[in-house]
Amino acid sequence: SGESIIDGLSEMVLRNPTLIVTRGELGPDPVVAVWLFDGEAHGYDLIGYFSVELTENDDRLIQRMEYIEELPDSGRLTVETPDRVDLPEWDDWSINEEG
C-alpha cells in the first residue's frame, strides 16, 4: 500500500541519514537508485535500487516498489550519480558541531 511504502522509506532514511536517491533505468524499465555517502571516499556508493511498477491507466501511478540490493552484472543499469553537494545540509552542520 502507499502507506507501507512511505513507512518503509521513512525507516530507511532514519537508519541511513546520508541516503539519497536518483533516477535510473534497468533496460527499458524505470528504477530508483539508492546511494549512501562514504565519508572516507568523499563520495556516494550505490547500494541498491528500487524497481517500480506503474499502473496501466493514464495517471501512471506507482503500484508497487521493491528494493533490490544485488546490482546487475551487465551494463543494463544506467543511473544518475549524485555529487558531494547533494549531501543534506544538516550533515555539514553535525560535522562542525562534533569538532
Query: What percentage of the chain reaches a pLDDT higher than 70?
Result: 82
User: Across all residues in the chain, what is the average pLDDT?
Assistant: 80
For the whole model, what pTM was predicted? 0.73
Question: Cell numbers at residue 81, please?
Answer: 550519480
Sign of the dihedral defined by the CA atoms of residues 12, 17, 72, 61, in that order = positive
Which has more confidence, 3 or 50? 50
- Please say if the pLDDT value at position 94 is more than 60: no
pLDDT tens, 26-57?
988 889 999 988 878 778 899 999 998 888 88
The pLDDT of residue 52: 83
Torsion of Cα atoms, 27 then 35 then 4 then 31, to 10°: -10
